[in-house]
Amino acid sequence: MKIEDVKKSAFAMPLTSPAYPVGPYRFYDREYMIITYRTDMDALRAVVPEPLEITDPIVKYEFIRMPDSTGFGDYTETGQVIPVRLNGEDGGYVHSMYLDDEAPIAGGRELWGFPKKLASPKITHEGDVIVGKLHYGSTLCVNASMGYKHKIIHQAPVKASLEKASFLIKIIPHVDGSPRICELVRYYITDVNMKGAWSAPGELQLFHHVMADVAKLPVREVVSALHFKADLTLGLGEVVYDYLEK
């Protein structure tokens, strides 16, 4: 392969068989179950990086079923998002993500900097209850549940929340192990088509695990439980802070 061919074709690894295609990345029939809970402010201060500001001792624990996504396939994801603010703009800091598909793990980490790890999340409908579970190997790390479509809610606030900024720390090491990229990244979800939103009572249990540390942000009080479906496009990111230049 000629040098010019490498330059022309190289956008993802491996060179001759990339783990994911070029975007845009459109998702159809995404199903969310989000349990919002109150946690300890000191625990948040230990994991949210400056220059992001913590607005409240709140965490959104999310289960997302993605049955149809261009380029990434059919998979399920779960993790924690922390409400934050940057230069007066409200958004969410993506603290942890666990999922069961190689393409979005590779693409998410390499393109945006999503903190993705391989695990086994599941969303199931069990009669009048929606259940979300996360296993890391054989170990249960998360057990979440909420009532099934108890109350129809207005879709506009849910759509507006989806369209807020999201923030990530993108870390790429040099070949000697030193940091080559360490950036605060911002991205947006666009072209949202809501397909229904519901609230209900919810419960959330987090369990300690050495490689899935969700319980380091402990549940002190469940605030709300939200279930909704939507089509959307995952926009590419922009660097808003470079830790290696400061």
Q: Could you state, in order of their start, the residue ranges of all structural domains in the chain?
A: 22-242
112 by Cβ neighbours in 10 Å (0-12 / 13-18 / 19+) ranks as buried
Q: CA-CA distances (angstroms) from residue 69 to 97, 133, 163, 214, 232?
A: 17, 21, 18, 26, 10
Q: What is the mean pLDDT of residues 150-175?
A: 97
Q: What is the mean pLDDT of residues 26-31?
A: 98
Q: What is the pLDDT of residue 91?
A: 98
Q: What is the pLDDT of residue 243?
A: 96
Q: What is the pLDDT of residue 69?
A: 95
Q: What is the pLDDT of residue 246?
A: 64
Residue 204 identity? L
CA–CA separation, 208 and 206 (whole Å): 7
pLDDT class of 59 with cuts at 50, 70, 90? very high
- CATH code at 22-242: 2.40.400.10
Answer yes or no: 116 catalytic.
Answer: yes
* DSSP secondary structure code for residue 215 in this structure: G
Spatial CA neighbour of 104 closest among 115, 92, 93, 91: 115
pLDDT in tens, 97-143: 999 999 999 999 999 999 999 999 999 999 999 999 999 999 999 99
CA–CA separation, 26 and 226 (whole Å): 22
CB neighbours of 149 closer than 8 A, spacing ≥ 6? 198, 200, 227
Q: What is the pLDDT of residue 45?
A: 97
Whole-model pTM: value is 0.96
Spatial CA neighbour of 129 closest among 158, 100, 159, 150: 150
Which pair of tokens denotes residue 121?
Answer: 């999340």
CA–CA separation, 208 and 212 (whole Å): 7
Q: What is the pLDDT of residue 229?
A: 98
Percent of the chain with pLDDT over 90: 98
Q: Beta strands 25-38 and 221-234: pairing type?
A: antiparallel
* Active-site residue identified among 2, 7, 8, 116: 116
pLDDT class of 84 with cuts at 50, 70, 90? very high
Spatial CA neighbour of 203 closest among 56, 79, 36: 36
Mean pLDDT of the chain: 97
Contact, 15 vs 6, CB < 8 A?
Answer: yes
